[in-house]
Amino acid sequence: MSDVLFANALADLSLPRLEPGTVWLVGAGPGDPGLLTLHALNGLRQADVVVYDALVGDVVLGFARPDALREFAGKRGGLPSPKQRDISERLIELALAGHRVLRLKGGDPFVFGRGGEEALALAAAGIPFRVVPGITAGIGGLAYAAIPATTRDTNRAVILATGHSAGGAVDTNDWAALARTGLPIILYMGMTFLDGIAAGLIEGGLSPETPVAIVTDATSARQRILITTLQRAKVDARERGLGAPAIVAIGEIVRLHDVLAPYAITLEDLA
Ligand code: SAH
């Protein structure tokens, strides 16, 4: 398709307007700007204010209008993140002031992204909002590591789980119970408590040799993939200096990586 036809096809979509006094809760995807949706791009071109999180990359942010106000609302330099209530109140304040507000989050806003809490706060304040889903790291990031979340031969369900509780301090999932389902587990924020999580899963019946993939900075040029086992995951990750942001996949689906990775074209600059 020629560039002109491409531009016309986009124009024909007549994508929605971001109205003054409203908020879009937008998922930016896991990192690769190519995984941004057209709705996200269209919203970024219109927003007066972009309130963004730590996991949103500069290239994506660069799609905002040059004169748009960019407000950072994530964790920076080890400092505690702003209180969720403060962020929600800020969104409400900006909308009430008549701005076109775009709240930009990594991955999908409703998957471990507090987008649900922000939507509830906006609804309670009577502020109209639109949710623009994004590609979540647990699915898109794994795909870039050549690991399908499901295949008919391996699993008919999958568990998305977080390794942190709401406060971020403790780990509250019942790992033994999740293990007993026999389903693959895709873990967000799983690095801090990886040892305890692995122990809980083994207690629940998973073999210590269950394959595990750790994908850090998935879909970005810094992406790294470690294939290991449940028993060795924490030690291997530490040895290689792997840290957040990371997706940890646990289960038979991980074995597909070895078969697919040699042929999977994902990030052009990775060997
Ligand atoms: N809403 C986001 C998740 C936010 S929670 C989404 O849908 O993807 C933050 C966690 O997401 C990180 O600790 C990490 O576990 C995961 N994550 C987000 N982006 C990632 C990336 N590019 N690579 C690996 N993990 C990522």
Give me the residue spans of the domains in the chain. 3-135, 138-263
| Residue 153 known to be catalytic | no
| Residue 174 known to be catalytic | no
Residue with CA at minimum distance from ligand 1 atom 2: 107
Give yes or no for a contact between 111 and 160, defined as CB atoms under 8 angstroms apart.
Answer: yes
**What's the gap in Å between 215 CA and the centre of ligand 1?**
10
138-263 CATH: 3.30.950.10
Distance of CA 266 to CAs 32, 40, 57, 271, Å?
Answer: 10, 22, 18, 10
From the candidates 53, 108, 171, 217, give the one annotated as an active-site residue. 53
Considering the entire predicted model, what is its pTM?
A: 0.94
Determine whether the shortest distance from the Cβ of 189 to ligand 1 is under 6 A. yes
- 3-135: CATH topology is Cobalt-precorrin-4 Transmethylase; domain 1 (3.40.1010)
> How many whole angstroms separate alpha carbon 165 and alpha carbon 47?
32
Residue pLDDT tens, the chain, 271 long: 788 887 888 788 889 999 999 999 999 999 999 999 999 999 999 999 999 999 999 999 999 999 999 999 976 666 667 788 899 999 999 999 999 999 999 999 999 999 999 999 999 999 999 999 999 999 999 999 999 999 999 999 999 999 986 555 555 799 999 999 999 999 999 999 999 999 999 999 999 999 999 999 999 999 999 999 999 999 999 999 999 999 999 999 999 999 999 999 977 654 4
**What's the gap in Å between 153 CA and the centre of ligand 1?**
27
